[in-house]
Amino acid sequence: MQGMRFAFLTCERFPQLWDDDQHAAEELRRRGHSVDAVIWNAPGVLAHLEGFDVVVMRNPWDWFNHREAFRAFLESLTSLRARVVNDARTLIEFADKTYLTRLEAKGVAVVPTVQLAPEELNGALASTLAARNWKRAVLKPAFTANAIGAQVFDAHEVKDVLARAASVPLARGEKWLVQPFIASIAEGERSFIFFGGAFSHAVIKVPKAGDWRVQHDYGGVATAFVPDEAAVKQASALLALAAPGTVYARVDAVDIGGKLHLMEFEVVEPELFFRHDPQSVVRFADQLLR
């Protein structure tokens, strides 16, 4: 096979890619292909990307500071000559977490989610909790990452939560999401990574003591784990219902009553935890080249 030109999209903070993704880039280079790290919002980036065969969304992890620009960038990828991975329409569809209510309507087992427009928040947050009998809940913007702007609160704290939410900068028309707080998050959020719809590997992300956020920035720790066959089957079923045909996907799930429920469905720019399974970069490269 003649060498292909890959662009791995990243951001100014990681101009040479996040450390983990450098392993994936090296695997492709080892096979005779070229991989360039390309900053997604650099001047003239779209013209530059036309020179590549494949454009892979990897580390554009400042996008939530440039919400409107990132949305526009995703739209522009639909007309790019190069193959975009995952495909641009999938990136657009899953760029904000309003997909959770769409997936729930399709029969996907998701953590129960209610969408509220900004103008509805003051009047509807308390009534939503009362109607659902949620004693403890999570409020977060639909278009964000890394738990930025998210709050966990008890039902009697709605007034304080609304005051803090008012200071969170949102793009025009951006929704809020309300969910019950899932206590089993303290035991860890399980992330199942798939390439081409086939299970690759998994990690469990555990928050630090006294916190609920599993992300590394807040002291969360991710470790490799080997899920049992039943868990892989459940995660595979979630993926098959949510978005079949993805090149890469990460199914983040928690246990509710002995059954996996989707917390987030990451197909835009997920961390893929290559470092926790050395063979995962081989499987990722295989799938890209297919």
Residue 214 lies in a domain: yes
Distances (CA, A) of 70 to 51, 76, 229, 262: 21, 10, 38, 25
Q: What is the CATH number of the domain that holds 24?
A: 3.40.50
Per-residue pLDDT of the chain (290 residues; tens, 9 = 90+): 579 999 999 999 999 999 999 999 999 999 999 999 999 999 999 999 999 999 999 999 999 889 899 999 999 999 999 999 999 999 999 998 999 999 999 899 999 999 999 889 888 999 999 999 999 999 998 887 666 778 889 999 999 989 888 877 766 678 999 999 988 777 778 999 999 999 999 999 887 776 666 666 656 688 999 999 999 999 999 999 999 999 999 999 988 888 999 999 999 999 999 999 999 999 999 999 99
Residue 285 lies in a domain: no
Q: Do 9 and 63 belong to one domain?
A: yes
Which residues span the domain enclosing 138?
114-181
Q: Do 132 and 177 belong to one domain?
A: yes
Q: Do 128 and 199 belong to one domain?
A: no
CB 267 within 8 A of CB 248: yes
Residue 290 lies in a domain: no
User: Any residues with CB less than 8 A from the CB of 262 and at least 6 apart, and which?
Assistant: 100, 103, 108, 109, 110, 111, 238, 242, 251, 252, 253
Q: Do 103 and 216 belong to one domain?
A: yes
Q: What is the CATH number of the domain that holds 121?
A: 3.30.1490.20
| Phi, psi for residue 102 in degrees, rounded to 5 | -65, -45
β-pair partners for 193: 201, 250
Distance CA 171, CA 226 (A): 40
Alpha helix (H) residue ranges in the chain: 19-30, 45-49, 67-77, 88-93, 99-105, 118-132, 158-165, 229-242, 280-289
- Position 219 scores a pLDDT of 60
Domain boundary pick from 181, 208, 230: 181
Residue 276 lies in a domain: no
- Position 11 scores a pLDDT of 98
- Position 217 scores a pLDDT of 66
Residue 198 lies in a domain: yes
